[in-house]
Amino acid sequence: MEITFTPWRLDYIKSNKREEGCIFCKAFEEQPSFDNLVVFKGQFSAILLNRFPYNNGHLLVVPKTHSDSLFSLPEEEKLELSKLLCFSEAALRKIYEPQGINVGMNLGEAAGAGIVDHIHFHILPRWKGDTNFVTVTGNLRVIPEALRDTYEKVKNFFKENPPSF
């Protein structure tokens, strides 16, 4: 039997506490860095890596406005959010050459939102067979790339190819 060690997940598994304040609002107050996983900040929205990704390249596209509703966002924010979501798709296709891409948003706790009060899109590359028996039987997700490596790839892509709007 092969054993896969994922020590970075232990803090998450053992932790029952939430960070003070909103992690997405904090991301807009700080400069992009590996510590906050922000890879790009626009005027009204930002792109972050998911700290606990489903797959390598799992991005979050986040509006600046702290809201639990997509409908309530200002129009200029909806527009930039949409543009960054499209740009994230292009970035993931170029960086990872996936066979597919998932885009989703969970509105409310009942819908599966882990961060209920500040909406955000998930966008992640997918490949045939990237979910296998390990996830189903072992309750374990195997991600073949270190988070820091993902951060560097995505950050460098955005630095070399800044979105223009």
Segment holding 49, helix H or strand E? strand 45-49
Cβ count within 10 A of residue 108: 11
Catalytic residue flag (residue 118): no
**Phi, psi for 78 (deg, rounded to 5):** -60, -40
Sequence-distant (≥ 6) Cβ neighbours of residue 42 within 8 angstroms:
80, 84, 163, 165
- Pick the closest to residue 122 from 142, 102, 95 (CA basis): 102
Q: Which of 66, 118, 120, 122 is catalytic?
A: 120
Catalytic positions: 120
